[in-house]
Amino acid sequence: MRFRLFLACCLSALILAAPASAQQAAAASTRSVQVAENAFTRGDAVPAWVDRVRDIPAAAKAGPLSIRLADVQFHVADQPTVYAHRALTANEASSLSALGQYEISFQPDYQRVQLHSLRILRGGQVIDQLKTADIRFLQRETSLDQGLYSGTITAAIVTEDVRVGDTLELAYSVIGQNPVFGGKFFEAASWDSAAPVGLRRISIDMPEQRTIHHRTIGQGAALKPVEILRDGRRILRFETRDMPALLGEPYVPSDVQVYRWIQFSEFNRWSDVNQWALHLFDAPSGGAAVAEALKAARKAATPQEKVAKVLEFVQNDIRYLSLSLGENSHRPYPPAQVLQRRYGDCKDKTLLMVSMLRELGVDAQPVLVSTYFKKGLDQMLPSPTLFDHAIVRARVQGQTYYFDPTRLGQYGLLDRMGQVHSGAQVLAVAPDTSALESIPVPADPALYTDLRTEQVAVTALDQPVELKAHIEFAGAQAEGMRVQLASMSAQQIAKAYEAYMGRRYADFSMLAAPQVSDDRVNNRLAVDVRYRINKFFEKDEQGWLMRYKASNMVEQFYVPDVAKRELPLSVPTYPAVHNYDFTVTLPEQFDAHYNPSQSAVNNGAFTLNEVLSFSGRVAQARLRLNINADRVAPQDTVAFVDAARKMGDKLQGSLYIRSNTIKAAAAPNFKEQVQTRIDATLKATNRVLADAALTGQDAGGAWCERARARAWLGQYADALKDAARAVQQNDSQENLLCRGEVNFAAGNFKDSSADFARAIALGAGDTSTWLRKGWADLYLGNKRDALSDLSRAGKAADNPLLQVRSQIWQAMLGAPSDKAAQAGGEQAQDEAWLSAALEMFQSRQAPDQMLRLASREGANGLELRLVEAYFYAGKSYLLAQDKLRARVYFQRAVDKGALQSAYHQLARLELARLQ
């Protein structure tokens, strides 16, 4: 099997998995094509220089597939040739496809294939299939949806009537080499195999005056060739027999080669590769086209901002498309052409960015990267075929930066940008380059640290809770999330965060759309989501259990089924720091006093620290995971797997609340009483409406009752739907009043005023209705209509307290009012504070006297009285231009939690207007 890498310019991957349609896209990008007549021929004679194998070893019986012969011969010449002679035996039906369809890939731009022989060996029979085999030429651009087009053709040789026990024997030559290499020779071939091999032979035949270096790459002993000198040529032959199958191990670092392969290169120094690359990237600067593209960057104030502007332009304005045909598999297109097309691949974008930076006086160079190997290049022979990607190195104000122009989502400060190639060995294309260099891991851990906090507010243990999730990303994670979110609709984003919570809780709802905060300058992105969780607690005889999951820490490692290994285990997420905080605030009757519990799971590859605490009414779990290495040594994998499993137990943990942490039983506080009543209303109306839907009976006022309850809870969209349904069924004054209240709570003041007006027209002319219409007109901005409404409210009052309230509002608006009627007896004593409120607005006094009177215990509900009094105090300070104190008293009114009070809603509106 040949081994070759092309400069295909891998795109940086996102955090999302590929969609289900990816397989369909791959299938759609495979099509049959026609090739030139001489691009693939049958029956050509085997080249004279080939040392042919006449006797093929017997097939091994072990395993489903036996490789009887694997012979590869490289011929170094002006037109280099690779000759392959293979014999494969199917011992099981599962391996018949390996015989029935054999594939040869080639580049018709500069290569041609000669199929010398093709036959089936069955017992003593030799069945020639050379002329009868169906050969189809397929163009498999499986990465076309990612903008990668290589032009590679696959010749699929379909052989009929293959059976278990058959041997497919074929010989073919691939002639030609990419001219971009300038006649220099670079090749590679596999040695070890997952199937047993009877005879493995790899040869290279070269002119004596040309030096082709070779090296064994991978685990195991280095391979030593036999040298043959013949007719001015030098032949190196690597050969062995009866090779057993080599079973690899999963999750090995990419720079650790499980299977040995032999590398051939005419280069022996990295400076040779550099000189080759310098010639490729030596293109015209771009002239006027580059100057035009630099207009925005030249306006930037600092060198860092100029570089950031250039990067932003190349990443966002030049779309990614790789047309890697012929020499352009490695040679970039000129910057002017890339700017004209507005597309390019990694090398095109790199050369363009380097040209733009140099025009700005920035020291910049192309850099060759291997995304396949990343590390370990220093153990290989220097060769341009090792690299499959190109990026940019720039020196700005004494600092060296590496930029990948194929990425997206990078803005702002250069030292805050993410680095997806950290740790990679790379080759800078510069006149003074003589060796590889490594891209360092970011020095600031903040660039690879993420945070997830979950705050749970509990009003009662038998009631739903609100969970606020805050997820924060930095560096490359922030950039990836920025791109991911930009590719999704608001509905898709909501569904994604809904699905996440659905994996933890069966009964929940999302209270609002996810809120995204993006600090592009410092490269931090945060998402905030609010959930309502039903059945959050699990109750037993001793107390309550609540579960958490540090989701940003799961699936960070490969955990093999078999811990004992011979090869290192990869840790692909290095470097990373993950933080998770889970905080539950319980009702006031809880009072715990436990010492915090601290524990840790330590391993060379990672460290997990956990702190569990429960003090007062706050229970908390805090976890921090540091990933410290990119691999685990074979001798340490057993301990690593054990530590990883212990870590897994902690990531899905729980906090326990014992019953004895509850203070002496106390009556539910006012907020809890209000919430309980609203929940009871919702439960009752839901039941009535469900029964009505089944029986077809009239739901009566249930729609309105539920609409009001939902509005009190801030569920305005659902409340408006219920109110509209009520009016649709019966546009009575009661239902219109209901919808007017809901519209007012939702801030729809125009619709609210219209609903109250219609209700009044139907006979609802009481003081409360006129007051509410007055409020709607006032917040709508119609002060004249509001004063008229408030005056009518006073005239319609059938008791002195209602009349005082209407006059308070008139005085609040600066209108004169008649003296209010006096309340008598206990009513006057309890509500004397209202008269003080009226006097406060009429005389523009401070609210102290009113607040003292309102704070006295009385028979008519202290909490509701204080909500109204705090609102009046806030309005008084607002009229005095003291917005700070006004905000304080409006907030006090809201904090009382009297959700059903009109003055709670009014205070909330005033706070919103003060923001």
Do 473 and 586 have their domain in common? yes
Do residues 690 and 703 touch, judged by C-beta distance below 8 A? no
Do 419 and 338 have their domain in common? yes
- CA–CA separation, 789 and 231 (whole Å): 114
Smallest CA-to-CA distance from 178 within 114, 108, 110 is with 110
State the sign of the Cα–Cα–Cα–Cα dihedral 235, 238, 240, 244.
Answer: negative
Smallest CA-to-CA distance from 282 within 338, 340, 355, 177 is with 355
Look at residue 285 in the predicted model and tell me its pLDDT.
Answer: 74
Do residues 720 and 728 touch, judged by C-beta distance below 8 A? no
Do 464 and 530 have their domain in common? yes
Dihedrals φ, ψ of 89, to 5°? Answer: -115, 130
Residue type, 41: T
Residue 47 belongs to domain spanning:
30-266
> Element (H or E) spanning 642, and its range?
helix 637-651
Q: Is 691 part of any domain?
A: no
Look at residue 671 in the predicted model and tell me its pLDDT.
Answer: 82
Look at residue 664 in the predicted model and tell me its pLDDT.
Answer: 52
Detail the DSSP E strand segments found in 458-522.
465-474, 508-510, 515-519
CATH of the domain at 518: 2.60.120.1130
Do 318 and 277 have their domain in common? yes
Do 421 and 278 have their domain in common? yes
Question: Alpha-carbon dihedral of residues 397, 402, 405, 407, nearest 10 degrees?
Answer: -120
Smallest CA-to-CA distance from 857 within 837, 829, 888, 882 is with 829
Mark which of 661, 677, 708 sits at the end of a domain.
661
Pairing of strands 226-230, 186-190: unpaired
State the sign of the Cα–Cα–Cα–Cα dihedral 721, 726, 728, 734.
Answer: negative
Do 59 and 171 have their domain in common? yes
Do 181 and 90 have their domain in common? yes
Do 79 and 217 have their domain in common? yes
Find the angle CA(392)-CA(395)-CA(398) to the nearest 5 degrees: 160
Q: Is 865 part of any domain?
A: no
Q: Is 67 part of any domain?
A: yes
> Element (H or E) spanning 135, and its range?
strand 134-140
Do 450 and 422 have their domain in common? no
The torsion region of residue 543 among left (phi > 0), alpha (psi -120 to 50) and beta comes to left
Mark which of 266, 294, 315 sits at the end of a domain.
266
> Element (H or E) spanning 89, and its range?
strand 81-90
What would the two tokens of residue 537 be?
């607690």
CATH of the domain at 336: 3.10.620.30
Smallest CA-to-CA distance from 566 within 255, 249, 257, 254 is with 249
Do 527 and 424 have their domain in common? no
Q: Is 913 part of any domain?
A: no
Three-state SS sequence of 228-297:
EEECCEEEEEEEEEEECCCCCCCCCCCCCCCCCEEEEECCCCHHHHHHHHHHHCCCCCCHHHHHHHCHHH
What would the two tokens of residue 746 be?
């939702």
State the sign of the Cα–Cα–Cα–Cα dihedral 414, 418, 423, 424.
Answer: negative
Do residues 355 and 318 touch, judged by C-beta distance below 8 A? no
Do 184 and 296 have their domain in common? no
Mark which of 220, 243, 266 sits at the end of a domain.
266
Look at residue 32 in the predicted model and tell me its pLDDT.
Answer: 84
- Average pLDDT by consecutive 10-residue portion of the chain (915 residues)? 36 29 42 88 97 94 94 97 98 94 94 97 94 90 51 91 96 96 95 96 97 94 95 96 93 93 96 95 83 93 96 95 74 92 93 95 96 93 95 96 96 95 96 96 94 94 93 96 95 93 91 95 96 92 90 91 93 95 91 85 94 91 96 95 92 87 66 86 86 72 89 92 89 90 93 92 86 92 91 84 89 74 45 87 89 73 88 91 89 90 92 86
- CA–CA separation, 264 and 74 (whole Å): 10
- Close Cβ partners of 598 (under 8 Å, ≥ 6 residues apart): 609, 610, 611, 612
Q: Is 251 part of any domain?
A: yes
Q: Is 223 part of any domain?
A: yes
**Most distant CA atoms of the chain, gap in Å:** 129
- CA–CA separation, 365 and 645 (whole Å): 45
Q: Is 212 part of any domain?
A: yes
Look at residue 915 in the predicted model and tell me its pLDDT.
Answer: 76
Look at residue 589 in the predicted model and tell me its pLDDT.
Answer: 83
CATH of the domain at 75: 2.60.40.3140
What would the two tokens of residue 368 be?
């060759």
Look at residue 204 in the predicted model and tell me its pLDDT.
Answer: 98
- Close Cβ partners of 319 (under 8 Å, ≥ 6 residues apart): 147, 342, 343
Total structural domains within the chain: 3
- CA–CA separation, 355 and 334 (whole Å): 10
Look at residue 822 in the predicted model and tell me its pLDDT.
Answer: 45
Do 596 and 548 have their domain in common? yes
Q: Is 313 part of any domain?
A: yes
